Structure 1
Amino acid sequence: MTPAGTDLEPTAQPVTGTDWHAYPKPIWRTSPKHWPDFWRRSIQARIVTGTLLMSAVVVFLVGWVMMSQVTDGVLESRRETAHAEAAAQVNRAQAELNAGDAPAAMEAVSQLVSNSNGGTFKAVVVPIDSVSSSTQATWVSSGVDPESVPQVLRSSVIADPSKLFDTYTTLKYQDGSTEPALVVGTQLRMESTNERFQMYLLFSLTPQAEVLGVVQRALLTAGLLLVLLLGAVAWLVTRQVVTPVRMARRIAERLAAGRLEERMQVRGTDDLARLAVSFNKMASNLQQQIRRLEELSRLQRRFVSDVSHELRTPLTTVRMAADLLHEAKDDFDPVSRRSVELMQNELNRFEALLADLLEISRFDAGAAALDLEDVDLRDIVARVLENHETLLARKGAEMLLDMPRPCRAQVDSRRIERILRNLIGNAIEHSEGRPIRITTASDEDAAAVAVRDHGIGFRAEEADLVFSRFWRADPARARTTGGTGLGLSIALEDARLHGGRLDAWGSPGEGAYFRLTLPRRPGVPLIGSPLPTRPPDASRVVPDINLVEVGSPYQKLTGDRGGAE
């Protein structure tokens, strides 16, 4: 609970306990094939992964820069030391060569190479040219392969006798072992014979390599620990933020499922706590509004049902009187006769409206039931067309039937006839005298009937209103069939009651297309339909916003026809 004295006290009893099913499973408990789904639905996983990747990149760059600087420093220090030592050895060797005759000088060079066996460097002395056979040998420290000196360095030493040249190489031994080394070379000259020699001193870099290896391992370990630490920090931080969001999602799902008493826990006074308080206030307001609307809807349904029943009694009396007057209308004057006919027509419409209101009230109360029988939908179509012969003749529309094979299903024939009566009646009324096509088809699981007209079609701005109760596309248009405005609404309910679907397609100037799909047997779920969603003769594709499906939470339909029965 929020501490006393703050403004964050929850507006309703918070939820206690934790519903672990509401949280995504950790990735280590998720099958690899579900990892893409885990990645898409988990903000925490994306943030932690992104933090780890960015941290790894930063640590790699920083480590690379630091390792480069340390390596350059260590090697440069060793290079300066090697140059100083090499210069001293070169001066000593050159002095020996200048001090005595050729045999003594050669002995001095050999002694220098021999002394290098236990020193900090290895030596290789190679004559460039000679005038006697005694100087044609190569002096090499014990065990060293002369090929350790790169040819590029040899060429540089031969070309310029005044400089010390160096390069990094691999020191090879005759036993096959190797180690990193720095080789420094220059040229020597014996004044007495004018002979020249290449002198190379190879300094081992193994100690430096070991130091650099220790530094590299330390940087790698520190970098790995730093990346893991940053990942753990990101996980903890995002968990603090994501957990209330997941809780809000869980509560929202429960609210959507009808559990209006659910509330979020409120802890502390931070922004997330204020978010929880605001969410709880919103949930409380929604609960009050939904309950108020439910009560209002219940009262409206009760009112419609009561009024419809109460009006039947006086209507029966009025009907009896009107029938008597209608039977004697030939004895009246023309004005009275016309009045009796108008009264009879309006009474017929009034009775139809009461019947539809009673049917709607049964749907609202969940009291509608099916009287199933195995029928051929073609027979129902034939009965409906027979009842519309007069209207069809008056409109002058041609009726085209595409019903080649039996189309049987277990349905409530009275309700299916009512659906087709609405669809066919609307098609005739809005056909503008153009042909109307009725198609039936069936497969193993479903049976379908489609009604296609080429009249005025649907308008997009009327998409959500076509199946609304008492709605008319054009209030100024005369009703030639005396509809009640509830026909298509009842058709939707009848199709839903069968577990079927009612799809509608329309395009301004191209007409409309209604497709009724029903399961052939009760309880069989519909997967598809034997007939297409759009008419095959549609000249252009109309977006899916022109489609309505029974049972879908989205009823998007463009239309210019009302709910006339």
Structure 2
Amino acid sequence: MVTSTLVISMAVVAVLGVFLMQSIATSVLKSRELAAVEESRANIATASGYLAPQSAEVADASPEGGSGGQAANPVDAAVSALTERSGGRYDVVVFNEGGIGDGRASGKIDYTSIPARLRLKVQGSEEGVLFTQSVTLRYLGTKSPESGLAIGGRVNGTYEIYHLFPLDAEETTLLAVQRVLIGVGVALVLLLAAIAYLVTRQVVTPVRLARQAAERLAAGRLEERLKVRGEDDLARLATSFNEMASNLAVKIHQLEELSQVQRQFVSDVSHELRTPLTTVRMAADLLYESREDFDPAAARSAELMQNQLERFESMLADLLEISRYDAGAATLDVESVDMRDVVLRAVGDSEALAERQATRFELRLPSEHCMAEVDSRRVERILRNLLFNAIEHGEGRDIVVTLGADRDAVAVAVRDHGVGLKPGEENLVFDRFWRGDPSRARTIGGTGLGLAISREDAMLHGGWLQAWGSPGEGTQFRLSLPRLAGSDLRGSPLPLVPPEVEIRRAWRGHVTPVMSPAVAEVGARSLENADAGGFDVD
């Protein structure tokens, strides 16, 4: 605002200054010209008495060049009279067109100061007509040239008389006026900028305070309020902001209380259910062990009850675990372990389920020890959840489990070749009870909390649990953990997008100058066959 005001003010002041300067200069020069013309007319009337024809005849008849006290040369007499009349304020030049004597000039004015064009106008004009022209006055000697005004006219038919008025006084006046205008313009621009700054601050300061208050409110300081001054629009804005903040604080407090009640309810119910569940479990185990003595229908019922009790226990364990995270009671039992052993144990726990789904694991583990400080129980649970999810959505195809490590981190990637994820579902998969396709029947079961608990376990380690997926290309989950407990994780040793997918996309989307389209198509089909056959394309 201040910059715009400053620029516009400078432009306006500059235009007005130029206009005023031109008007003042025109007025001063016009006044000077009118005064000079009147002075010239009076001088011409005086000079006409000295330049009369009879004066010239008397001068010619006098052998000594003079008669009766009159000057021998009327031009000299006229110049002397006019010089005395001017008082040195201007110079006079007189020419005799009839050849009687040479031109005479007062002072040290140079004849060349009179332009030839002006002389031609005077010579071709009638007596009593004056011509004006701006000229540069030149002087004999060391005096420098200066601007001036030349006024010429004819006298007694054969004489030319020119008055040369210097304009140094007018130039000095105009220069002083110009300086005053520049000073006033600069002062006016600065004054307008200062006024704009003060006015802008009156508007910007409340807006800036509102922005800062909004930032603090967004950061969780719900007690933040704005001071209300006056009754203008900014005061109304502050009042509306305070009302919004108060309503927001009340709503957040209500939601926190509701969330706390829900968490407490889940925790209490989960704990209370363990006691009857233990009793039911004991009875179910007794029936399950004696099922061979029952009739087929009762034996099948005992097996179904056993399976559903195992599922119910798993759901109850998940609910208890998520309630611990909600209550902030989850802790780590850190130890230095070989991540290869952790991966192998998780795969071993998942092999029975994989066999029922006709799924095979492909392990890509490093040949050297891969040590890391982790809670092995929680990491195994993360990997089991990832493997169960891959078996559930892998469409019976092979699942690739890759372990990688660098100096600061370790990572495990679980890759399936199933239905994949739609764009935007990479983060939704970690939400509680979220399902990608609600119409798709579950074949394994579960609470819908497995991936949510896995992400909480990864974050408790200071690590990442990320997902990638594409329809028709499957999914890949990557668990990245720091090798030293408590250290910051800056990167992952494994890529989130499978390398074969990147190669396939690059192969299909880009043909190098030395690669023909046919070769590119063969390469893409080879990659597809490699994926379908389950062998390594590296």
TM-score, normalised relative to structure 1: 0.73
How many Å apart are 1:485 and its aligned residue? 0.5
Q: What is the CA–CA distance in structure 2 between the aligned matches of 1:90 and 1:328, rounded to whole Å?
A: 151
DSSP-derived class of the 1:469 partner: coil
Confirm or deny that 1:72 pairs with 2:34. no
Confirm or deny that 1:529 pairs with 2:492. yes
Q: Which residue of 2 aligns with 1:49?
A: 3
How many Å apart are 1:168 and its aligned residue? 5.4
- CA RMSD of superposed structures (Å): 3.7
How many Å apart are 1:97 and its aligned residue? 5.9
Whose Rg is larger?
A: 2
Letter of the 2:395 counterpart: E
Letter of the 2:320 counterpart: L
1:204 to 1:501, Cα distance in 2 relative to 1, 3 A: farther
Greater CA deviation, 294-303 or 66-75?
66-75
Q: Which residue of 2 aligns with 1:166?
A: 133
1:460 to 1:205, Cα distance in 2 relative to 1, 3 A: same
Greater CA deviation, 443-452 or 345-354?
443-452
Q: What is the CA–CA distance in structure 1 between the aligned matches of 2:220 and 2:454, rounded to whole Å?
A: 28
DSSP-derived class of the 2:430 partner: coil
How many Å apart are 1:79 and its aligned residue? 3.2
Q: What is the CA–CA distance in structure 2 between the aligned matches of 1:185 and 1:490, rounded to whole Å?
A: 106
1:503 to 1:63, Cα distance in 2 relative to 1, 3 A: farther
Match of 1:332 among 286, 294, 315: 294
Match of 2:88 among 119, 122, 133: 119
Whether the aligned pair in 1 keeps the contact of 2:362 and 2:400 (CA below 8 Å) is: yes
1:333 to 1:231, Cα distance in 2 relative to 1, 3 A: same
Q: Which residue of 1 aligns with 2:205?
A: 243
Q: What is the CA–CA distance in structure 2 between the aligned matches of 1:91 and 1:535, rounded to whole Å?
A: 111
How many Å apart are 1:105 and its aligned residue? 5.1
How many Å apart are 1:473 and its aligned residue? 1.6
> Residue by residue, what CA displacement relative to the aligned partner does 1:352-381 show, whole Å, maximum 9, x if unpaired?
111111111111111111122233434333
Greater CA deviation, 389-398 or 419-428?
389-398
Q: What is the CA–CA distance in structure 2 between the aligned matches of 1:404 and 1:109, rounded to whole Å?
A: 125
Q: Which residue of 2 aligns with 1:9?
A: none
Q: Which residue of 1 aligns with 2:215?
A: 253
Q: Which residue of 2 aligns with 1:447?
A: 410
1:230 to 1:325, Cα distance in 2 relative to 1, 3 A: same
Letter of the 2:6 counterpart: L
Higher RCO, Cα 8 Å, sep 6+: 1
How many Å apart are 1:451 and its aligned residue? 3.3
How many Å apart are 1:115 and its aligned residue? 5.3
How many Å apart are 1:523 and its aligned residue? 3.4
1:202 to 1:395, Cα distance in 2 relative to 1, 3 A: farther
DSSP-derived class of the 1:388 partner: helix
Q: What is the CA–CA distance in structure 2 between the aligned matches of 1:444 and 1:74, rounded to whole Å?
A: 88
How many Å apart are 1:494 and its aligned residue? 1.4
Q: What is the CA–CA distance in structure 1 between the aligned matches of 2:226 and 2:335, rounded to whole Å?
A: 51
Whether the aligned pair in 2 keeps the contact of 1:165 and 1:186 (CA below 8 Å) is: yes
Q: Which residue of 2 aligns with 1:368?
A: 330
The number of equivalent residue pairs is 483
Whether the aligned pair in 2 keeps the contact of 1:308 and 1:357 (CA below 8 Å) is: yes
Whether the aligned pair in 2 keeps the contact of 1:55 and 1:227 (CA below 8 Å) is: yes
Confirm or deny that 1:494 pairs with 2:445. no
Greater CA deviation, 65-74 or 446-455?
446-455
Confirm or deny that 1:268 pairs with 2:230. yes
Q: What is the 5 A alignment of 1:32-111?
A: 47-86=1-40, 99=53, 100=56, 104=73, 106-108=75-77, 111=80
Letter of the 1:65 counterpart: F
DSSP-derived class of the 1:409 partner: strand
Q: Which residue of 2 aligns with 1:18?
A: none
How many Å apart are 1:109 and its aligned residue? 6.8
Q: Which residue of 2 aligns with 1:515?
A: 478
Letter of the 1:262 counterpart: E
Match of 2:394 among 427, 431, 440: 431
Q: What is the CA–CA distance in structure 2 between the aligned matches of 1:229 and 1:450, rounded to whole Å?
A: 68
Q: Which residue of 1 aligns with 2:251?
A: 289
Q: What is the 5 A alignment of 1:74-223?
A: 74-86=28-40, 99=53, 100=56, 104=73, 106-108=75-77, 111=80, 118-123=87-92, 135=102, 142-144=107-109, 153-155=115-117, 157-158=119-120, 161-162=123-124, 164-167=131-134, 169=136, 174-175=141-142, 177=144, 179=146, 181-184=147-150, 201-223=163-185
1:221 to 1:330, Cα distance in 2 relative to 1, 3 A: same
Q: What is the CA–CA distance in structure 1 between the aligned matches of 2:361 and 2:95, rounded to whole Å?
A: 113
Letter of the 1:364 counterpart: D
How many Å apart are 1:489 and its aligned residue? 0.9
Q: What is the CA–CA distance in structure 2 between the aligned matches of 1:425 and 1:168, rounded to whole Å?
A: 104
How many Å apart are 1:484 and its aligned residue? 1.8
TM-score, normalised relative to structure 2: 0.77
1:490 to 1:185, Cα distance in 2 relative to 1, 3 A: same
Whether the aligned pair in 2 keeps the contact of 1:470 and 1:484 (CA below 8 Å) is: yes
The runs of 5 or more residues in structure 2 that have no matched partner are 61-71, 126-130, 507-538
Whether the aligned pair in 2 keeps the contact of 1:122 and 1:201 (CA below 8 Å) is: yes
Confirm or deny that 1:349 pairs with 2:338. no
Identity of aligned residues (%): 52
